[in-house]
Amino acid sequence: MDSAIGPETPKVTATTSGFVLAAAIVVLFNTTLACAKDAYAPLKNFMKSISGHDWTTQGLVDLLLFVALGFLFMNRRVGEKLPPDRLTGVLIGAVAIAGFGLALWYALF
Amino acid sequence: MPWNISSSDVILLAHATFGVAGSMAALWVFVEALNAQPANAGRIRAAALVTAVCIAAAWICGGYWYVHFYPPEKALILKGPWPFAHNLFMETKEHLFFVTAILAALLPITTREKLFSNSAARKLVLSVAGLIAITGLAVEGAGAIIDHGVKVALLQNASKGSR
C-alpha cells in the first residue's frame, strides 16, 4: 500500500463551489452597496431612477450578480481552488460581517 | 361580522407567513441533513426547493408592500416614540433580507450534492440552511419591532386626541 496516498478529501462540484463563492461575494457587495447609497445620496437617486425604488434596484442587482458570478465561477472552476470547508467558512464569515455590519451601520449613522 | 381586511393587510401577512414558512423549511433541511441518507435525499431537495419558493414569495409580497404601502407607516414611526423601529430595524431588515434571499437561492444548488457520502457537502448544507433560519427569524423579529413602532405611534396620537 502506498503510504503517500491519504484518505480522499471530500469535494463539491464546480456548480456548488462556484455558486457558494458567488453568494459570499454578493452578500458582502449587498452590505457595501447599502452603506454606500445611504452615505451618498446621488447613488441612491441613480438607483431609484432605474426601477422607481432604490431597494428594488438593489435586489435585482444582487440577484443578477449572484447568477452571473455563479455561472462564471462554475465555468472557470474558480470555487474548486478553495477546499469545501474553507468555502463554507468564507460564506459564514461573509454573512456574519453582513449581519453585524448592517446593524452597526444603521445604529451609528 | 364584517371583515375589514384590505389588500395591504393581506400582502403584509402573506409576506410574514411566507418568511416564517421559508425559515421553517430551512430548519427542515437542517434536520434532514443531520441524518443524511440515500433514503431522504429526495426529501432534502424538496425541502430546499420549498425554502427557495417561500423566501421568493416573501420577497415579492414584502417588496410590493414596502414600495407601495410602507411610506405612511414610516412617517408615523418617525414621529412616534420609537423612531429606531425604522432607522435601525427596518433599514437593517430590508437589506439583511437580501442575504436570506441569496442563501435561499443557493440552498437547492448545494443539496444536489450526495450529502450521505460527502461530509464537506453536508457541512455546507447545514451551514446554508442554518444561516437561512437564523437570518430569516432575525428579519421576522425586526418586522415585529417595526409593527410595534407603528402601534406606539398610533397610541401616542390617540392619547393626545383624547386629552
The DSSP line for B110-142 is: HTTS-TTT-HHHHHHHHHHHHHHHHHHHHHHHH
- pLDDT score at A1: 41
Cβ neighbors of B149 (< 8 A, separation 6 or more) are B77, B80, B82, B83, B84, B85, B86, B89
**Cβ <8 Å between B127 and A38:** no
- Rounded to two decimals, the pTM is 0.93
Residue of A nearest to B103 (CA): A23
Neighbours of A42 (CB within 10 A): 8
Q: Write phi, then psi, for A53 (nearest 5 degrees).
A: -150, 135
Q: Is the minimum CB–CB distance between B138 and chain A shorter than 8 Å?
A: yes
Q: What is the mean pLDDT of residues B74-83?
A: 97
Q: What is the mean pLDDT of residues B137-148?
A: 97
User: Distance from B159 to chain A by nearest Cα, in Å?
Assistant: 29
How far is it, in rounded angstroms, from Cα B126 to Cα B115? 10
**Cβ <8 Å between B103 and A59:** no
Mutate to test the interface with B, among A16, A29, A33 (most CBs of B within 10 A): A16
Query: What does the pLDDT look like over A41-87, one tens digit per residue?
Result: 999 999 999 999 999 999 999 999 999 999 999 999 998 889 999 99
Specify the residue for cell string 440552511.
B129
Q: Is the minimum CB–CB distance between B23 and chain A shorter than 8 Å?
A: no
Checking ipTM against 0.90, whether it exceeds it is yes
**Cβ <8 Å between A66 and B103:** no
